[in-house]
Structure 1
């Protein structure tokens, strides 16, 4: 499985990113995969490689490239609960600095780079995100409705907030198929209802689902939140979504 580190030109500099893609020569549908707040690391590279094995070109950007190349700070091989306070003390200023304006500038650069790769086909792309990356995937999909045909978010953060620029306010512009896979307690029933109402109003095909017996972060095998059966459920939802949206199989 070919993998490489690439540099994506952005209005604010060069974003380093990880790319994985099939090892045969033809062109493949593109997938932009946004990491969780812990950033680009081996766990995200593993997910990209698995998706590439299903026939996709997968691009995983370093969200915090303005602060340095990945890893922006050292992470343990397994991110246990005891390590999280110190990690998040370093991390939160980076998250807070990642404003909506920056997110949208970066999204333009990432989508443009992805679609220009010689290994990527001419059709639509998908955006996927984990934790805070789910909001970035949604923002990218609503900002690029003509290019993004599928959006998926898992154990999402910040999808529905009280802020005037909450991602859910842009959903009327969405044209993509959607799956949102929630951990128990990720969003209140009221917030889920608000999200579903926005998706209904957009007239898009979507599913929102609370995965049973999960906590926030359930897809990440390098954390204590990991739940193997929920990770499999995530693949069982994600792969058919991508296949239908990007390969035009089925209705």
Structure 2
């Protein structure tokens, strides 16, 4: 799939990103892909290519652009104490306010691109990015029509800006696929989020996949092919019914 290196002006600096589009040109609906805590890397670029192949212009931003950082080895980062500390410092430094500001800049960027058609945008995210996807939908309800989270963490925690506290703002159709035995999204958070989505009248599907945290990302040691294919089918269905490719 065609890829373009792009830069996006934000309130806090310049964010590097790649834009992935279907072959053949023409305007298609846009999707923002939020990576997991280990950040943008080739495995996510390949995922963005695959999503573009379904008929979307996919923006993959470096969400850590405010800080110079070296790529992580996902196979070992959680076993190496120094690398784990470096990872933790990066993702804990990314605040909700930053995520909201950046998403606004990403949406503005996409609006001006000739590869993009229509006002409705989708989001998807993995691990940390799952939380970002739901926060984006809550804070930009008029612009995000579909929001997905796969093995997302801390979606209904005790923080004041937890996504489950913001469901009354969401106008998007939401798909949440949790992992089994996930300490970052335990059963009590699952129930809390589901109740909030129902009470707010959000069109949604929330489920638990029989796989471990990280199941959808190919370079993750816990990648699960069956669960990953299930995730691709869910995304295809979600966007086909909300973003109308080619419309």
Match of 1:129 in 2: 125
Match of 2:175 in 1: 179
Once residues 112 and 127 of structure 2 are traced to their aligned partners in structure 1, the CA distance between those partners, rounded to angstroms, is: 27
Task: Tell me the secondary structure at the aligned position of residue 26 of structure 2.
Answer: coil
Rounded to whole Å, the distance in 1 between the matches of 2:206 and 2:229 is: 16
Secondary structure of the equivalent of 1:245? coil
User: Which residue pairs with 1:37 in the alignment?
Assistant: 37
Q: Which residue of 2 aligns with 1:217?
A: 214
Q: Which of 172, 186, 206 is 1:188 aligned to?
A: 186
* Unpaired segments ≥5 residues, structure 2: none
- 2:243 alignment counterpart: 246
Contact 2:27 2:115 in 1 (8 A): yes
The question of whether the paired residues in 1 share the 8 Å contact of 2:100 and 2:139 is answered with yes
Runs of 4+ in 1 over 6 A off after TM superposition: none
CA distance in 2, matches of 1:135, 1:165: 11
Deviations 1:198-227 (A, max 9, x none): 111221221111101x11111121121110
Deviation at 1:113, TM superposition (A): 1.1
Q: 1:248 to 1:205 in 2, by over 3 A?
A: farther
Q: Does 1:74 align with 2:53?
A: no
Of Structure 1 and Structure 2, the greater helix share is in: 1
Q: 1:79-94 residue pairs with structure 2 within 5 A?
A: 79-80=75-76, 84-94=80-90
Contact 1:80 1:223 in 2 (8 A): no
- Superposed, which structure 2 residues align to 1:49-198 within 5 Å? 49-68=49-68, 72-76=69-73, 79-80=75-76, 84-186=80-182, 187-198=185-196
Q: Give the Cα–Cα distance (whole angstroms) in 1 for the partners of residues 209 and 192 of structure 2.
A: 19
Aligned residues: 244
Give the secondary structure class of the aligned counterpart of 1:18.
strand
Aligned to 2:202: 204
Cα distance in 1 for partners of 2:163, 2:137 equals 10
- Structure 1: gaps spanning 5 or more residues: none
Distance in 2 (alpha carbons) for counterparts of 1:113 and 1:179:
25
Match of 2:19?
A: 19
Instruction: Compute the TM-score of the two structures, normalised by the length of structure 2.
Output: 0.94
| RMSD over equivalenced CA pairs, Å | 1.7
1:140 shift after superposition? 0.7
Whole-Å separation in 2 of the counterparts to 1:188 and 1:25:
43
Shift, 1:33, TM fit: 0.5
